[in-house]
């Protein structure tokens, strides 16, 4: 079908996708650099372009609380936040997932304080990686749009019923203008469809209790159900990606391989830095160096088997983390990649690089430096974990 080309920032494209989805409820509290998402969407509400009940609350904790209440009542519910706002929601993130509520949240990645910083790294969402939310990361504005629309169907699928956060890198994507192709409003409405029927607190024929005390007798079983839902989501994410590809021609997977199949040296990363890395990889390829990239799109659930298959034949791998695990050893993505490759008979050499914290600019020279280090590791056969790139030591 024909697609409309538009020039939008990451925040604008999130708001546009939300308008096209037309949720029943949006509850939000503005925070830099995600403020524009709900600011623009609130104007859509004021102009009568959506049927949404917009709830302006007094904090992000209240925002997620209101989202939980509306979703538990059966409303299609969305919100948006960033960094400290996501951290203030922390308690409620676990409750939303534990109650199996399909809330969709647009998150603009920003460093967590202290010191106070409003620019990009992934410490906010990485801190929430085990909260039971599906996590989908975006390289560019186009992916942000596509991911958010798919997220609604993923969250509401009867085999999933889990909240989903879709992210963009703060200021790098949220405030930068890019050309993207968007669907017609009617096509988006047709794609997301009517929410599947589920049990709600307003179902008086089959009443349920939400938020009851759950001690030794059943808590373990209920947490196991959340884990099973996360397992189920992998198949659902792929099925919805196939349907979205039929509609748009854009096919998404859990990760993207870029010149990886015959690579001897590769980097693994998340988010907008992939664009810079691709430029470097093309240049190094022109020099005869077998280098490649694996860009993680879906971090939760983590498809470790496919990840292992994609990476186990590579000689040396550099895992780039835009968040520091502060565990004296490695960043969060590195630990996941290590685990994925642990049972492989072909053990690539792994090196971890912490980069771009607090919005520190990532240049082509930084990616060059990482590949030079990987080439050295390949020659010497040894490495040291958690190297810091671009920091004044």
pLDDT in tens, the chain (393 residues): 678 999 999 999 999 999 999 999 999 999 999 999 999 999 999 999 999 999 999 999 999 999 999 999 999 999 999 999 999 999 999 999 999 999 999 999 999 999 999 999 999 999 999 999 999 999 999 999 999 999 999 999 999 999 999 999 999 999 999 999 999 999 999 999 999 999 999 999 999 988 889 999 999 999 999 999 999 999 999 999 999 999 999 999 999 999 999 999 999 999 999 999 999 999 999 999 999 999 999 999 999 999 999 999 999 999 999 999 999 999 999 999 999 999 999 989 999 999 999 999 999 999 999 999 999 999 999 888 889 999 998
Choosing from 248, 272, 306, the residue where a domain stops is: 248
Residue 69 corresponds to which tokens in the numbers above? 């209440």
Looking at residue 193, which CATH number applies to its domain? Answer: 3.40.50.970
Give dist(CA 18, CA 207) in Å, integer: 31
Residue 127 corresponds to which tokens in the numbers above? 């801190």
Specify whether 125 is located in the same domain as 172: yes
Looking at residue 345, which CATH number applies to its domain? Answer: 3.40.50.920
Q: Let me know how many helices (H) and strands (E) the chain has, helices first.
A: 13, 15
Give dist(CA 159, CA 111) in Å, integer: 33
Specify whether 99 is located in the same domain as 22: yes
| 3-state SS class at 270 | strand
Specify whether 211 is located in the same domain as 274: no
Distances (CA, A) of 195 to 75, 76, 220, 226, 263: 9, 7, 29, 20, 43
Specify whether 19 is located in the same domain as 91: yes
pLDDT at 384: 81
Give dist(CA 166, CA 11) in Å, integer: 12
176: left (phi over 0), alpha (psi -120 to 50) or beta: beta
Contacts of 121 (CB under 8 A, 6+ apart): 109, 110, 111, 322, 323, 356, 357, 358, 359
Specify whether 70 is located in the same domain as 186: yes
Q: For residue 189, what are the domain limits?
A: 4-248
Specify whether 224 is located in the same domain as 143: yes
Choosing from 198, 214, 248, the residue where a domain stops is: 248
Specify whether 244 is located in the same domain as 316: no
Choosing from 201, 219, 248, the residue where a domain stops is: 248
Specify whether 235 is located in the same domain as 259: no
Specify whether 141 is located in the same domain as 233: yes
Cis ω before 33 (30° cut-off from 0): yes
Q: Where are the beta strands (DSSP E) in 110-251?
A: 134-137, 164-169, 178-182
Distances (CA, A) of 73 to 22, 59, 163, 202, 205: 17, 21, 15, 6, 14
Contacts of 87 (CB under 8 A, 6+ apart): 112, 124, 127
Specify whether 228 is located in the same domain as 326: no
Q: How many domains in the chain?
A: 2
Instruction: Round to the nearest angstrom and report the end-to-end CA distance of the chain.
Output: 53
Specify whether 127 is located in the same domain as 267: no
pLDDT at 385: 80
pLDDT at 1: 64
Q: How many CA atoms lie within 13 A of 234 on its CB side?
A: 14
pTM over 0.95: yes
Specify whether 178 is located in the same domain as 306: no
């Amino acid at each position: 079908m024909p697609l409309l080309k538009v020039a939008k920032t990451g925040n604008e494209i999130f708001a546009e996708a939300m308008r096209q989805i037309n949720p029943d409820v949006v509850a939000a509290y503005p925070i830099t650099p995600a403020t524009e998402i709900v600011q623009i969407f609130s104007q859509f509400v004021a102009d009568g372009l959506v049927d949404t009940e917009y709830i302006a609350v007094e904090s992000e904790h209240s925002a997620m609380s209101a989202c939980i209440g509306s979703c538990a009542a059966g409303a299609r519910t969305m919100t948006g936040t960033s960094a400290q706002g996501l951290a203030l929601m922390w308690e409620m993130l676990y409750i939303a997932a534990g109650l199996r509520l399909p809330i969709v949240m647009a998150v603009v990645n920003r460093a967590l304080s202290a010191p106070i910083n409003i620019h990009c790294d992934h410490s906010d969402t990485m801190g929430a990686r085990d909260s039971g939310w599906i996590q989908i990361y975006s390289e560019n504005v186009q992916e942000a749009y596509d991911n958010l629309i798919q997220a609604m169907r993923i969250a509401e699928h009867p085999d999933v019923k889990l909240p989903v956060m879709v992210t963009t890198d703060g200021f790098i994507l949220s405030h930068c203008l890019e050309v993207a192709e968007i669907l017609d409003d009617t096509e988006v409405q047709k794609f997301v469809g009517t929410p599947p029927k589920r049990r709600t607190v307003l179902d008086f024929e089959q009443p349920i209790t939400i938020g009851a005390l759950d001690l030794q007798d059943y808590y373990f079983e209920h947490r196991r159900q959340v884990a099973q839902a996360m397992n189920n989501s992998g198949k659902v994410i792929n099925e919805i990606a196939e349907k979205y590809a039929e509609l748009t021609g854009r096919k998404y997977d859990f990760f993207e391989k870029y010149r990886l199949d015959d690579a001897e040296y590769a980097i693994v990363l998340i988010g907008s830095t992939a664009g810079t890395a691709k430029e470097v990889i093309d240049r190094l390829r022109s020099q005869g160096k077998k280098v490649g990239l694996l860009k993680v799109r879906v971090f939760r659930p983590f498809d470790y088997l496919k990840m292992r298959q994609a990476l186990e034949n590579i000689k040396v791998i550099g895992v780039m983390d835009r968040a520091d695990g502060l565990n004296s050893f490695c960043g969060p993505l590195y630990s996941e990649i290590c685990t994925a490759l642990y049972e492989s008979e072909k053990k690539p050499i792994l090196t971890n690089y912490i980069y771009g914290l607090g919005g520190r600019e990532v240049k082509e020279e930084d990616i060059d430096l990482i590949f030079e280090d990987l080439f050295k590791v390949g020659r010497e056969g040894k490495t040291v974990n958690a190297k810091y790139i671009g920091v004044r030591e």
